[in-house]
Structure 1
């Protein structure tokens, strides 16, 4: 089967599964709504902050506060896109129709990545503009130094989270196992390693902590990370490549 036909087939699969559509919709709503709420609360609290916090106040990053929950939905989307066929047994039919396993996997990831990128960028821009509206006099403008990079970076971050999840799901092949590892990894392990002084230098190289640096415009006063916004995103890209390569190797070596 030609690559274009495989891509068209994968697009039909993603579009026709209600759970994948709902998870993407949830990512949009949660990211924007929570970002607006935190932005509104931050505006009210700004005058009560100490001088140090006011100096490191980052209105752009504040509008992305909902990304922490939005990425949860992107993780679920990435996992479902890849592992749904394993849980339903459809994988055998898919691989019979597309024996070239690399073509099959990379077409699936390409379609899902394109969709994630469109949704991620749209979500990031809307979250920014509505978040800044909530911040009032403390808002940033899209033309301010570093702001457009951060907003585009927010969309790239959401996309990379979904891609990383696809790679992990391709390795583990079970939606429950994949989610059982990814959820604690991003919401417990990463936070613990990043906030404990003994492991802080390890935590900063995890995909979410490194990647989220792209969304920051104002560098925190006590920040000593050895990489900048694009460097952090580059670290996240390396994690994604490793996960996808692992998924490809697993698909090549194991039976369906």
Structure 2
């Protein structure tokens, strides 16, 4: 019978030599990410996309170009009880379509190209990404709107020798806020539907259908109350109230609150679905 070899127990010194203690410190600083980092990332995206340059460029041409063209065709007596920003109203009616389109493309383009997977890999907290997109877009849309509407008002006041008796600065901020909220609503719908054409069509329907449908609802007596409400709160009439074309006591404040409430519902829905669905 062959004897089994006795296993040798290594000495403590040999163990220390076989597994020396080592430590490594990365030269790259590790920081906790926050919303500011996501906002910086989204700002880099939105200012480097050609779609942003084109849509905002067309928006400026429509608001400023049409506004100044209308201003040159008016007279001093037209502004006795009207704000100088009225010419910008005609450009905003068309320009709001640009902000709606850009709002949808800010998020739907990433779903279309698959880039959204990379975005969520870099920032796993999806709600932070969506909040950053909405914040950056709203700030850009509001700033560009204030600049364009304010420029039209300023040039118009110089052309007509300050003959207006109405303060026009409130129309600059309220009008800019209204169209910017429309863009945020479009962004939320784009996040919900994840399809550019479908989201743009949906938001345009929300804007245009209430402006067209009252023409038919006001004919039968039974549907007139619905038609009157649509006439009062649709987007063109809301802007008309803000710019004091359709004279009202609140100057479009009620319409602004309705749009804010509708946008809040869409934003809440977008955040809820974002966490529940796969990319």
Residue 242 of structure 1 corresponds to 265
Q: Report how many residues are paired.
A: 239
| Unaligned ranges ≥5, structure 2 | 1-32, 219-223
1:104 aligns with 2:129: yes
1:28-83 deviations in whole A, cap 9, x for unaligned? 1111111122333344996xxxxxxx998665323321101111111111111121
CA offset at residue 194 of structure 1?
5.0
User: Residues 205 and 39 (structure 1 numbering): CA distance in 2 closer, same or farther, change over 3 Å?
Assistant: same
Q: 1:158 aligns with which of 164, 169, 179?
A: 179
Q: Could you tell me the TM-score, scaled by structure 1's length?
A: 0.81
1:90 aligns with 2:110: no
1:215 aligns with 2:236: no
Asked whether the 8 Å contact 1:190–1:209 carries over to 2, the reply is no
Asked whether the 8 Å contact 1:160–1:236 carries over to 2, the reply is yes
1:102-159 deviations in whole A, cap 9, x for unaligned? 111001111111111211111110122234455x37953xxx4442111222221232
1:38 aligns with 2:70: yes
Aligned mates of 2:169, 2:162 — CA distance in 1: 17
Larger relative contact order, structure 1 or 2 (CA cutoff 8 Å, min sep 6): 1
**Partner SS, residue 63 of structure 1:** helix
Q: Could you tell me the TM-score, scaled by structure 2's length?
A: 0.75
Aligned mates of 1:250, 1:233 — CA distance in 2: 26
1:4 aligns with 2:36: yes
User: After the TM superposition, which residues 228-239 of structure 1 pair with which residues of structure 2 at under 5 Å, given as runs?
Assistant: 228-239=251-262
1:253 aligns with 2:270: no
User: Residues 211 and 253 (structure 1 numbering): CA distance in 2 closer, same or farther, change over 3 Å?
Assistant: farther
- Structure with max Cα Rg: 2
Residue 228 of structure 2 corresponds to 200
Aligned mates of 2:192, 2:269 — CA distance in 1: 6
| Unaligned ranges ≥5, structure 1 | 47-53
**Partner SS, residue 66 of structure 1:** helix
Asked whether the 8 Å contact 1:101–1:251 carries over to 2, the reply is yes
CA offset at residue 211 of structure 1?
5.4
**Partner SS, residue 204 of structure 1:** helix
User: Residues 193 and 17 (structure 1 numbering): CA distance in 2 closer, same or farther, change over 3 Å?
Assistant: same
**Partner SS, residue 255 of structure 1:** coil
**Partner SS, residue 65 of structure 1:** helix
Asked whether the 8 Å contact 1:210–1:235 carries over to 2, the reply is no
User: Residues 139 and 170 (structure 1 numbering): CA distance in 2 closer, same or farther, change over 3 Å?
Assistant: farther
Residue 177 of structure 1 corresponds to 198
**Partner SS, residue 99 of structure 1:** coil
Q: 2:59 aligns with which of 10, 22, 27?
A: 27
Could you tell which deviates more after superposition, 204-213 or 70-79? Answer: 204-213
